[in-house]
Amino acid sequence: MNQPVKAVVIVGGGTAGWLTAGIIAARHQARMKAGGFSVTLVESPDIRIIGVGEGTWPTMRSSLEKMGVSETELFRQCDAAFKQGGRFAGWTTGEPDDAYYHPLMAPQGFSVLNLVPHWLKERGGRSFCDFVTPQGQLCDEGLAPKTIVNAEYRGLANYAYHLDAGKFAPFLARHCAARLGVRHVLADVIAVNQGENGDITSLRTAQAGELSGDLFIDCSGFSALLLGETLGVGFKDLSDILFCDTALATQVPYDTSDAPMASQTLSTAQEAGWIWDIALPSRRGIGYVYSSRHSSEEAARETLARYVGERHKELPVRKIPIRSGHRQTFWKGNCVAVGLAAGFLEPLESSAIVLVELSAKLLAEQMPACREVMDLIARRFNEVTHYRWGRIVDFLKLHYVLTRRTDTAFWRDNVDPATVPQRLQELLTLWQYQSPWFFDEFDRLEEVFPAASYQYVLYGMGFRTEVSLEDTAQSAPLASRLLREKDQVTQQMLARLPKNRELLQSIREHGLQPV
């Protein structure tokens, strides 16, 4: 039990495996260079990664910077682009003018004053997003979040990335092996060996023999080779809450090489789900996420074809099953699952990759010194990770339960209280009388979706909270100052920032200044 944890073995590559390897290796570089710690990633030379997910959260900037990744090379090698949030069309009423933004910038002065009551009191023509932040207008104008003189990972507006997942994983692999000392083993795992206490002791591979380790990280995808198949940890199905269980994905070329690029993810509601539309420099990634209980595959393919247009209806389409849910526990014995091996939810709001980042970061920071303390750390890891999955489910369901659409069974079924988590029902009751804010019920550090995100969705979809005229009167001078500052910043950004494609071309040609 006092055996020190010196050898970490990751099973599976892809974005999950290589992000996890990079985050852990970067955090423990001193130990690795001294020879007291190692990170090995073993992946099959034949298994193709899913490679569809193209959206990230702003946390990715911090993760990559700490790993020593060049942001310039990320743009150059991964067909990457800027993401400043999401635009949701058709989710509330389905009418032509039904759309709102969930931007990545917090409302102006968010930690100082809650501007929601002041927006509700105004009842003007401005959307909540435009009332509290410049970012919706930046997206409307197709602007980038920074200029070429801003250093790598720095910006005038908060941002994340859209990227080609098929290029991102090999990019991370090259960096982790060359710069961070991660050992890369191309081999098929044919047996998992366990000790008397049930711990995994080693992996037997077809091409590289036996690989021993002290801590094993399962990034083997949906198969969950270690945590699921070997250790028998069950799966918690959440399809009774989140109905979408299939995706049809395609890649659509631009009509011209200089076509404008959106700097936000587009999510457009359909009869039985929604369509994502993500702009990369070379193409658009488009996919229809739908419920097979509410639509046939033939009808779903027709919906996707209508969206992409007559010119592109013959493009190849990949069908991807979605099993919404997660493992009953995430860390058992000396094995922890990250990525698809831990679970998956529909790709609304790009939660999959950020969960990988947060799990890997928690692992890196809480790396057990020896087997004796591993179960204690595992218990804490499981508690935090269960909380995060639950809050993501709440947030995704929020987009559906606020709808006023009744045109199809999919939307009618989504507002059935039996499909809404109890905690979300309680919060919706609370939010009738007080809006979510900075010091609110969100009681964990590094929330995947903080209170600001809930504000943008709630008030973007027409939710109303009762406000006290006395409270708004008392804080009116501060609110006026914050809103004036927001208007000034908006005008400065609109005048200064380049178009999204224009900046991406400059980065590819000239590069960004290293930090």
**Inter-residue contact 359 to 380 (CB < 8 Å):** no
The catalytic residue positions are: 83
Helix (H, G, I), strand (E, B) or coil at 157: coil
**Inter-residue contact 120 to 433 (CB < 8 Å):** no
DSSP letter assigned to residue 41: E
CB neighbours of 380 closer than 8 A, spacing ≥ 6? 366
**Inter-residue contact 381 to 367 (CB < 8 Å):** no
DSSP letter assigned to residue 408: S
**Inter-residue contact 200 to 229 (CB < 8 Å):** no
**Inter-residue contact 300 to 271 (CB < 8 Å):** no
Strands laid side by side in the 325-327 sheet: 235-237, 325-327, 343-344
* Nearest C-alpha neighbor of 63 from the set 25, 22, 100: 22
Helix (H) or strand (E) holding 103: strand 99-103
* Nearest C-alpha neighbor of 166 from the set 251, 107, 91, 106: 251
* Nearest C-alpha neighbor of 66 from the set 178, 150, 160, 180: 180
